Amino acid sequence: RHGSTLLFSLDDKLVDKALGTLDKRFPPMADGLPKDVLMPIYFGPDAMAQLMQRETLDSLPQDMEPVFYNAAQTYLMPKLRTLGGYGKYALTLPEGSEPDGHWQWLPLEWKAL
């Protein structure tokens, strides 16, 4: 608990990072995003690729799963490195399309950040 915020993660490093952001030692993600858009989804391929690499290799111990480990190293890791090189994107609602409280289809736009 940090003030009125409750944080939980099985990974204590993530909690430490969140506490650092709340304590203003790290900039919040909102500081780097456009202020004038409603953004339901943010996609950061660099962080996603790193997470997928780490989790894949952690789940395939080289001594117990040599075939799958080698296949992941040969075929998956180069693709994840390529993914990590793409820019960050936000899926946004166009200006003036604020939801009015009723269910409706809303147009979405990808914006490079």
What's the 3-state SS for 47-98? HHHHHHHHHHHHHCCCCCCHHHHHHHHHHHHHHHHHHHCCCCEEEEECCCCC
Is the pLDDT at 113 greater than 70, yes or no?
Answer: yes
Q: pTM for this one?
A: 0.61
**Rounded mean pLDDT of 49-74?**
92
Q: How many CA atoms lie within 13 A of 48 on its CB side?
A: 14
94-112 residue pLDDT tens = 777 766 777 778 788 888 8
The DSSP 8-state label assigned to residue 35 in this structure reads T
Per the structure block, which two tokens stand in for 107?
A: 């147009």
pLDDT number for residue 71: 94
Average pLDDT over all residues of the chain: 87
pLDDT number for residue 1: 87
- The dihedral region occupied by 93, where left means phi > 0, alpha psi between -120 and 50, and beta the remainder, is beta
Is the pLDDT at 46 greater than 80, yes or no?
Answer: yes
Is the pLDDT at 53 greater than 90, yes or no?
Answer: yes
pLDDT number for residue 15: 92
pLDDT number for residue 68: 93
In sequence order, what are the residues at sequence separation of 6 or more whose Cβ sits closer than 8 angstroms to the Cβ of residue 36?
Answer: 95
Q: What is the largest CA-CA distance in the chain?
A: 56
The residue among 25, 29, 17 whose CA lies nearest residue 88 is: 29
